[in-house]
Chains A and B, each alone.
Chain A
């Protein structure tokens, strides 16, 4: 073999089979973004259970020639589908079972007592969903300004749902309505949840006076009996699903998990849902989300628009919650802190903690955590209802 032929052979191997030869700028950028997520998760502890596997999935999906994201196809030879492709196809795109099981675990982890003790918190949970609809309209309006970057109705629904600040609902809704932008919407939802402490306080301060923020409320709520806690998920499940049947995969699993928790009769199952099951599903789901972001899908100007509209949805949701809180404060006979409305977005328990800390900062006697947990868990139900409503418009199971 001549010297030139040898080098041509080496270059051919580098170009065809060696990863380095196939790395291009978009893939390098996505790998750096993945590394950035991992750094934020480890050093800043921003939603580490979500952002670390998302970052890892993003890196793996953007390394060239791995075949990890090859999805199984009929007639495909054995072993040709990649593990991330299998997770994507069966966990997120075709069967979409992973978000539902995450909701099952969340239900088993959630204590609805603060909401049962203070049912008007349901209304705050509803008001904070307004961001969803504002960003839905905003996404559609993009096409008026930049016709080439316009979003379809289904994509607008998926972008709007980021405003619920609810990861599994965002993933489930987007997986069925607009799978092409699922990775971005899910990442936006989890990233904004991680940034609650940065996003919410300025909005709350802008919309409330110091006197309103320092409104004192009795720190304790009435005790909730066990029969009430058992009956609540059953009544809520029947009521919601009979009105919005398409919310069943989310609401049904959330409240089923909660019934397991509160029944007291299936402790082992409840513990499994709260620990092993939710941990395993989190690994699969978040790796899948990361893997759904190959460079060719993400390197699009519309990605920035999705991120911006998602952030706007989150901000409007917080603002709408606070404004509704102010209305409730005016109508309430007892002192009512309007900041509680900001906890209506379903970033549990971060939003409730933010409201609690801001309440204590304004008035040291205030202890708002239990009051804020009510709208916070109501927000989880509210965003699942909003997601189910969107699905009902487009999907026939």
Chain B
């Protein structure tokens, strides 16, 4: 373990980049997951509606 001089400019760049990257990726994942959820929920709703319509048509 040797002491080393610190480049504070680089250190703050690393922190800024890290915070940005983590929030960017997590936000993109949140958006992608929300869209995915909406698509699948709409598909489920359509299936249910079709099943109900089919049931009503039969009766």
Residues of A near any B CB (own CB < 8 A): 115-117, 119-120, 122-123, 125-126, 129-130, 132-133, 136-137, 140, 143-144, 147-153, 155-157, 180-181, 222, 224-225, 227-228, 231-232, 235-236, 239-240, 243-244, 300, 302, 378, 381-382, 385-386, 389-390, 393
Which of A150, A227, A240 is within 8 Å of B3, CB to CB? Answer: A150
Which of B18, B26, B41 is within 8 Å of A133, CB to CB? Answer: B18
A140 and B6 contacting across the interface, CB-CB below 8 Å: yes
| Chief secondary structure at chain B's binding surface | helix
B26 and A126 contacting across the interface, CB-CB below 8 Å: yes
B21 and A385 contacting across the interface, CB-CB below 8 Å: yes
Q: A143-B6, A389-B17 are in contact. Are A239 and B28 (CB under 8 A)?
A: yes
Q: A386-B18, A393-B14 are in contact. Are A228 and B36 (CB under 8 A)?
A: yes
Q: A140-B8, A225-B44, A390-B18 are in contact. Are A232 and B33 (CB under 8 A)?
A: yes
Task: With A123-B26, A140-B6, A239-B25 given, name 5 new contacts (CB 8 A).
Answer: A119-B29, A122-B30, A136-B11, A137-B11, A385-B22
Q: How far is the CA of A385 from the CA of B20 in the complex (A)?
A: 11
Kindly list chain A residues whose C-beta atoms are within 8 Å of the C-beta of B22. 126, 129, 382, 385-386, 389
Closest chain-A Cβ to B18's Cβ sits at a distance in Å of: 5
Closest chain-A Cβ to B6's Cβ sits at a distance in Å of: 5
Cβ-based interface call for B10 (8 A): yes
Kindly list chain A residues whose C-beta atoms are within 8 Å of the C-beta of B28. 239, 243
Which of A123, A150, A180 is within 8 Å of B27, CB to CB? Answer: A123
Name the 6 nearest CB pairs between A and B, nearest first: A126-B26, A122-B30, A119-B33, A150-B3, A119-B30, A122-B26
B11 and A153 contacting across the interface, CB-CB below 8 Å: yes
Kindly list chain B residues whose C-beta atoms are within 8 Å of the C-beta of A222. 37, 41
Closest chain-A Cβ to B32's Cβ sits at a distance in Å of: 5
Q: Scan B16-58; emit 1 where CB is below 8 A from any A CB, else 0.
A: 0111011111111111111011001100100000000000000
Q: How far is the CA of A306 from the CA of B36 in the complex (A)?
A: 42
Kindly list chain A residues whose C-beta atoms are within 8 Å of the C-beta of B30. 119-120, 122-123
Q: A116-B37, A130-B19 are in contact. Are A381 and B1 (CB under 8 A)?
A: no
Kindly list chain A residues whose C-beta atoms are within 8 Å of the C-beta of B17. 389
Q: How far is the CA of A157 from the CA of B34 in the complex (A)?
A: 32
